[in-house]
Amino acid sequence: MATEEHSDTPDRKSRKSVVFDTEAVVVEGDGTVTKMASAEAAQDSAQSHAPSTPPLSDALGAFTNPNEAPVEEQAPAEDGLDLSMMKKKKKKSKKTEEADGEAAADGAADEGGLDLTMKKKKKKSKKTEEDELAAKIAALEMGEEGAEDQAEEPKEEQTGDMDKGTGIWTHDETKPISYELLLSRFFNLLAQKNPDHASSGSKNYKIPPPQCMREGNKKTIFGNLPDICKRMKRSEEHVTSYLFAELGTSGSTAGAGQLVIKGRFQQKQIENVLRKYIIEYVTCKTCRSADTELNKGENRLYFINCHHCGSRRSVTAIKTGFSAQVGKRRKMRTG
Amino acid sequence: MSIENLKTYDPFAEADEDTGESKQAQNYIHIRIQQRNGRKTLTTVQGLPNKFDRKKILKVIKKKFACNGTIVNDTEMGEVIQLQGDQRKDVQEFLIDKKEGLELDPKTIKVHGF
């Protein structure tokens, strides 16, 4: 394993569905998570899952026919839902708001106030577009306030230790659990049951920090270059040539594999260059793993082969560009 | 659809390295930094598209960034703008800037150095 450290956040994209021993946790394409611990719970989650879609259609209906539709459609839906549902719905409408401002605004308006004052506001504001927009913004704000009030309550309700199975997490609990809680539970379980999951394919890749010493006044010694090269599985020549090209200097190797670079460089600067090198010549662009190999392919091109995902890509050869003449001209002429 | 016979280049000709490389160099604008004595540095801008007048660019840059600079004619790299001090960030922003810059694509610019 090339990776040294476990990243603290688990890799979230790697699996679409994960089946655990007793319960199934299903991640759908759109990122919604459904947990099925038992038949009962399955029903609950199905129930809780279903209403997350209607608001959109409601919103759309409201958009096409804003004056009539919401009252009829929204009312039964509200009766059937409890407060945690409202919260979820709010989430949904917030999302759509980004995607489709107007429809969401209508939806939010529906939710936020089924009271008449809101309705009146909307009806009045039909006259001009600008008015409408302003009203929508106002309606959105109102809706958010309303939703916040409602959102407060389920938080108090849904407590309990998910490991011990108390509170909301008890086995025969019939209350629908809010999305956030379920999601946190999912990732908790994921990390618990697959401890190695987080480390595999993680992009956390560590090299020892470069050791820089000053030699005299104008030279820098890069001490642990062989060490770093070994860790990156790259030849020292390649790394040094890249360093020189990037830093716009020259240098030589002293004994024990140390690199002497002309010019004053701090450790931070060298580290930056090394980081660039790793991005360009070490990590695999497809899977981001650092378990790669650099070799010369046909016709003088360099290729990176990834051992992790098997992809192959070409990389540009290192080129030193224009380097201005620095120092005394007389020296250059004679030397 | 393209007809193979109507293509202008000869596929059997030797791939000319020089032209290929110069093309590559033209694709990217390289902004480099070089250390001089003490805390002094030089910034070089290489590979500006030919449609721009370097003299005018230099004049604007010199005024804007309050630094001196010259145009160096390099045999390989063509005309290179050389500026005093570390102007990498400024130059990059200037090249990208839509209002008072060159409106270049940020992808074509490569900033080198530490």
A93-114 tens-digit pLDDT = 444 444 444 444 444 444 444 4
CA atoms within 13 A on the CB side of B105: 5
Phi, psi of A281 (to 5 degrees): -115, -5
CB B92, CB B111: distance < 8 Å = yes
pLDDT for A110 equals 46
Highest mean predicted confidence (pLDDT) among A64-78, A301-315, B12-26: A301-315
Beta carbons of A109 and A138 less than 8 angstroms apart:
no
Of A272, A322, A324, the CB nearest to B114: A272
Do A76 and A58 contact (CB within 8 A), yes or no? no
What is the percentage of chain A residues whose pLDDT exceeds 70?
A: 45
Residues of B in contact with A246 (CB under 8 A): 112-114
User: Is residue B93 scored above 80 in pLDDT?
Assistant: yes
When CB atoms are compared, the residue of B76, B77, B114 closest to A265 is B114
Asked if the Cβ–Cβ distance from A322 to B46 is below 8 Å, we say yes
CB A86 within 8 A of CB A176: no
Instruction: For residue range B15-73, list pLDDT tens digits in order.
Output: 544 444 444 444 788 899 988 888 889 999 988 888 889 999 999 999 999 999 999 88
Chain B interface includes A263 (CB < 8 A): yes
List A residues 242-261 in contact with B (Cβ-Cβ < 8 A).
245-249
Point out the residue among B72, B112, B114 whose CB comes nearest to the CB of A324: B72
pLDDT for residue A312 is more than 60:
yes
Q: Say whether A247 and B44 touch across the interface (CB within 8 A).
A: no
**pLDDT over 60 at A265, yes or no:** yes
Among chain B residues, the shortest Cα distance to A319 is held by B25
Report chain A residues whose CB lies below 8 A from the CB of B30.
321-322
- Select the residue from B35, B73, B80 to test the A interface by mutation, using most A Cβ atoms within 10 A: B35
Q: What is the pLDDT of residues A17-44, one digit of tens each?
A: 444 444 444 444 454 444 444 444 334 4
Q: Mind spelling out the 3-state secondary structure of B17-69? A: HHHHHHHHHHHCEEEEEEECCCCCEEEEEECCCCCCCHHHHHHHHHHHHCCCE
- Top-ranked range on mean pLDDT: pick from A83-97, A146-160, A206-220: A206-220
Residue of chain A with shortest Cα separation from B21: A319
Interchain contact A274–B (C-beta under 8 A): no
Query: What is the percent of chain A where pLDDT is above 90?
Result: 1
In the block, tokens 């129930």 appear at A47
